[in-house]
Amino acid sequence: MMNLTNESVNAPMAKQNKHGCCADKACSDATCMELPEEKTCGDCVHERRCCLIFGHTPTDTYCDWFPRRFREKSPSNN
């Protein structure tokens, strides 16, 4: 990278493909947008918002937020 005087600048590289970036710290590059196994949008505390904003249905198994923000509802929230 160069600054305004065309001198080389040592800038840190941005980290990419960071595993464990999602709220539950269980993701990998291949699974980052997928919900945990056997979970659906209907199991998430953000279900209502995502269904309204993104047009998801409670049976969807992926998340459109990056990083994924899936947080399981407590039994009293169902």
Domain ranges in the chain?
41-77
Given pLDDT bands bounded at 50, 70 and 90, which one contains residue 70? confident
pLDDT, position 44: 93
pLDDT reading at 13 higher than 60: no
Cα(43)–Cα(77) distance, integer angstroms? 10
**Interval 18-57: pLDDT, tens:** 556 666 666 677 777 888 889 999 999 999 988 898 888 9
Residue 70's CB is within 10 A of a number of other CB atoms, namely 26
Residue 24 amino acid letter: D
Report the pLDDT value the prediction gives residue 48, as an integer from 0 to 100: 92
Is pLDDT at 69 greater than 70 in this prediction? yes
pLDDT of residue 12: 46
